[in-house]
Amino acid sequence: LFEKCNDITSFGQRLSFDECEILKSNQDYLRRALNIKHIDIRLTNDTTMLNNFEDIVPGKPLIHFHHE
């Protein structure tokens, strides 16, 4: 089964909550807790800078660290 929700397509995998919205609403806490300056949260339809797109599934977000 294919399901499409908020431009995210998956094989019958879905969450009972909006994972992206929860991450976005908790950005300030995450930045402080992880002691980082910036968090960029993107949906899977934004494939820029994604090398392992096939590994992203609901409930298992991709985390990419960038150091300048």
Please give the pLDDT value at position 1: 38
At 2, is the pLDDT very low, low, confident or very high (cuts 50, 70, 90)?
A: very low
- Domains of the chain: which residue ranges? 3-55
| Burial bucket for residue 43 (CB in 10 Å: 0-12, 13-18, 19+) | exposed
Please give the pLDDT value at position 20: 84
pTM: 0.56
SS3 content of the chain, % helix, strand, coil (to 5): 25, 10, 60
51 versus 6: the higher-pLDDT residue is 51
Q: How far apart are CA 27 and CA 38, in angstroms?
A: 9
Percent of the chain whose predicted confidence (pLDDT) is above 90: 13
Mean of per-residue pLDDT scores for the chain: 73
Q: How far apart are CA 39 and CA 31, in angstroms?
A: 7
